[in-house]
Amino acid sequence: MSARLQPVTDRDFDRVVHGSPVPVLIEFWKPGCGHCRALTAELEKLQTDLGGRLLVLAMNADENYQIPAELEITSLPALALYDKGEFQRFIGGLGKKEDILKQLPLAVD
């Protein structure tokens, strides 16, 4: 069963990200991007595995310009990590769920 990523827009970004009680990971993507589709599939697995310990969002950079511009995103896909409403850093190693998980500040049960 696929867990679709919740979309976020420039308009609701502050409300959603600042209101989250857990860290937020945002994928910036655009339609037609093969690497974006592959990353989305891995993030859906990650979201399923982590349940409520991480909020994973997706922002279409073709439809939303403000937040990608503020973060100076120049290539897609890009992953940005927020904690307590504040930008922390970009997550590198775009690829497999396990590689992304290693870079997240989550308490291990």
Show me where the domains of the chain are located.
6-93
Evaluate if residue 3 carries a pLDDT over 80: no
Q: Say what the pLDDT of residue 105 is.
A: 76
Identify the active-site residue in 22, 33, 38, 71.
Answer: 33
74 as an active site residue: the answer is no
Evaluate if residue 84 carries a pLDDT over 80: yes
CATH number belonging to domain 6-93? 3.40.30.10
Q: What secondary structure letter does DSSP report for 51?
A: G
User: Hey, what are 76's tokens?
Assistant: 């897609």
Identify the active-site residue in 36, 39, 43, 59.
Answer: 36
pLDDT-above-90 percentage for the chain: 78
- Report the C-alpha gap between 53 and 61 in whole angstroms: 25
36 as an active site residue: the answer is yes
Evaluate if residue 93 carries a pLDDT over 90: no
Q: Say what the pLDDT of residue 2 is.
A: 47
- Report the C-alpha gap between 8 and 97 in whole angstroms: 21
Average pLDDT estimate for 60-68: 97
